[in-house]
């Protein structure tokens, strides 16, 4: 086959492509049909969609791991690392003067720069260091559990607990006061919710250009907030993450303000929304599956299993993008230098060659090699923290609950990047 006919053979049919680029498909679950089809028929297919640059779609867990592991061959920084239409990409490049990234951060760095910056805080997020924070996190969890239980039997679990608990944890790790939570919550929701009129406050879905401008304003809001914090920590360092970032050096030199801001924004946003979503989905699944609820309730040693299964099920980050740094074969498919690649974590998490009954939610699933945190050198820096937060919350909550059920519709935020529930109405009975 010559190169043209090879590319033609790799093309994904338009009906499947339409689902891949439809934010609503990620909210209502239609995406899973498309993922299933792709894993079976075109595990490494080429999508051509109007308004987007062509992109390769990687749906098998093994291929996602291979590409993630080789960050010298597949770059995070040369193109957008989150899936984005061409007009937004162009607008961002206009705003930044050529860079595809509004924020210079770990997620968009490549070797050798990436590791130099990652090690600055990596130790802070390792299980051994996190043990020191366990009592502090448990106090926060208990506060939220009491708040929820005081509602008397009906609440929106998202607003009462899931949304603000991880935020409170990340704020306490940064060492900033509770009063600043509202601004941080607003900025995070704006960063990930530009496609949702409920978040942007617009009458309709914003145009690509308007979205890019909206994002740039949000990033500036983050900068204003963190600049003040960083200056304070340089003057008076404390035992918190902000002081680590504010005083960080690479190659013996203080890091640039841009890199510093990128660090704060990535940790603040990545550390919050994703964990909120996973916590909410854990509760939603327990409410939907009384049998699984009883299982984990009667055997608390299954709580880490509940946490893992909820993170697999939720897959809060739908995909990250890479680009090929050279011409390369992946699973027999030729990719060319510069090609844009979508790693579909939600598909890897339902890959039937890896998971037994992937469409069932099982708190005792073992092994559970889910890929929601990515894989390889960019694997989530906060994965141990996210799991710790969720474990502690359910350790405190489950002994108090006799039963839980959904009390209304679970509506999800439509987004191509990070999406979670908009609300999670539940009804519960106490022990």
Span 62-101, contacts to ligand HEM by CB under 6 A: 68, 76
Which region among 43-51, 263-271, 356-364, 409-417 touches ligand HEM (by CB under 6 A)?
Answer: 263-271
Helix (H) or strand (E) holding 429: strand 425-430
State the binding string over 153-192 for ligand HEM (x if CB under 6 A, else -): -----------------x----------------------
Among 47, 64, 107, 219, binds ligand HEM (CB under 6 A): 107
* Beta-ladder partners of 320: 343
Minimal distance, residue 125 CB to ligand HEM, in Å: 7
Choose between 35 and 428: whose C-beta lies nearer to ligand HEM: 35
Q: How far apart are CA 431 and CA 297, in angstroms?
A: 11
Among 267, 401, 416, 426, binds ligand HEM (CB under 6 A): 267
CA 37 to chain centroid, in Å, comes to 24
Among 386, 397, 404, 424, binds ligand HEM (CB under 6 A): 386
Residue 293 CB contacts under 8 Å (≥ 6 apart), including other chains:
286, 287, 403, 404
| C-alpha closest to that of 141 among 364, 263, 251, 303 | 303
Minimal distance, residue 311 CB to ligand HEM, in Å: 5
List strands edge to edge, sheet with 154-156. Answer: 154-156, 425-430, 401-406
State the binding string over 112-131 for ligand HEM (x if CB under 6 A, else -): ------x-------------
Check residue 381 for interaction with ligand HEM (CB under 6 A): yes
Choose between 57 and 270: whose C-beta lies nearer to ligand HEM: 270
Choose between 25 and 241: whose C-beta lies nearer to ligand HEM: 241
Span 354-373, contacts to ligand HEM by CB under 6 A: 372-373
Q: How far apart are CA 43 and CA 60, in angstroms?
A: 6
Residue located via tokens 């130099």 = 116
Inter-residue contact 280 to 420 (CB < 8 Å): yes
Angle, in degrees to the nearest 10, between helices 181-192 and 164-174: 110
Residue located via tokens 């760095």 = 109
Site size toward ligand HEM (CB under 6 A) is 26
Inter-residue contact 342 to 55 (CB < 8 Å): yes
Check residue 385 for interaction with ligand HEM (CB under 6 A): yes
Judged by DSSP in three states, 225 sits in helix
Check residue 280 for interaction with ligand HEM (CB under 6 A): no
Q: How far apart are CA 17 and CA 23, in angstroms?
A: 12
Choose between 110 and 213: whose C-beta lies nearer to ligand HEM: 110
Query: Rule CB under 6 A: which residues touch ligand HEM?
Result: 68, 76, 106-107, 118, 170, 266-267, 270-271, 274-275, 278, 311, 316-317, 320, 372-374, 378, 380-382, 385-386
């Amino acid at each position: 086959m010559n190169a043209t006919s090879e590319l033609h053979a790799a093309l994904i049919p338009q009906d499947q492509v339409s689902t891949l680029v439809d934010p609503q498909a990620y909210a209502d679950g239609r995406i899973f049909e498309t993922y299933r089809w792709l894993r079976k028929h075109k595990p490494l297919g080429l999508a051509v969609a109007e308004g987007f640059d062509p992109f390769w779609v990687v749906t098998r867990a093994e291929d996602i791991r291979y590409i993630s592991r080789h960050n010298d061959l597949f770059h995070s920084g040369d193109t957008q690392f989150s899936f984005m239409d061409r007009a937004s990409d162009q607008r961002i490049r206009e705003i930044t003067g050529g860079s595809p990234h509004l924020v210079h951060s770990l997620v968009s760095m490549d070797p050798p720069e990436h590791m130099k910056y990652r090690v600055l805080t990596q130790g802070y997020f390792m299980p051994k260091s996190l043990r020191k924070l366990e009592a502090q996190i448990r106090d926060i969890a208990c506060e939220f559990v009491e708040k929820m239980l005081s509602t008397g039997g009906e609440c929106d679990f998202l607003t009462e607990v899931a949304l603000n608990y991880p935020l409170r944890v990340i704020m306490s790790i940064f060492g900033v006061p509770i009063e600043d939570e509202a601004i941080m919550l607003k900025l995070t929701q704006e960063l990930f919710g530009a496609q949702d009129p409920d978040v942007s406050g617009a009458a309709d879905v914003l145009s690509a250009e308007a979205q890019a401008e909206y994002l740039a304003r949000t990033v500036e809001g983050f900068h204003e907030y963190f600049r003040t914090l960083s200056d304070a920590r340089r003057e008076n360092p404390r035992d918190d993450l902000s002081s680590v970032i504010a005083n960080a050096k690479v190659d013996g030199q203080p890091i640039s303000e841009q890199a510093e801001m990128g660090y704060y924004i990535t940790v603040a946003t990545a550390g919050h929304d994703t964990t909120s979503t996973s916590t909410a989905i854990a509760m939603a699944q327990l409410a939907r599956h009384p049998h699984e609820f009883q299982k984990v309730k009667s055997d608390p040693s299954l709580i880490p299993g509940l946490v893992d299964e909820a993170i697999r099920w939720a897959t809060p980050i739908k995909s990250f993008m890479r680009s090929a740094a050279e011409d390369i074969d992946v699973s027999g498919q030729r990719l060319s230098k510069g090609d844009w690649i979508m790693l579909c974590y939600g598909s890897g998490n339902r890959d039937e060659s890896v998971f037994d009954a992937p469409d069932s939610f099982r708190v005792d699933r073992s092994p559970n090699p889910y890929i929601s945190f990515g894989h390889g050198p960019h694997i989530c820096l906060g994965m141990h923290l996210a799991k710790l937060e969720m474990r502690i919350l359910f350790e405190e909550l489950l002994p108090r609950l006799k039963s839980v059920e959904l009390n209304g519709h679970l509506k999800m935020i439509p987004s191509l990047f990070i999406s979670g529930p908009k609300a999670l109405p539940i009804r519960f009975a106490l022990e």
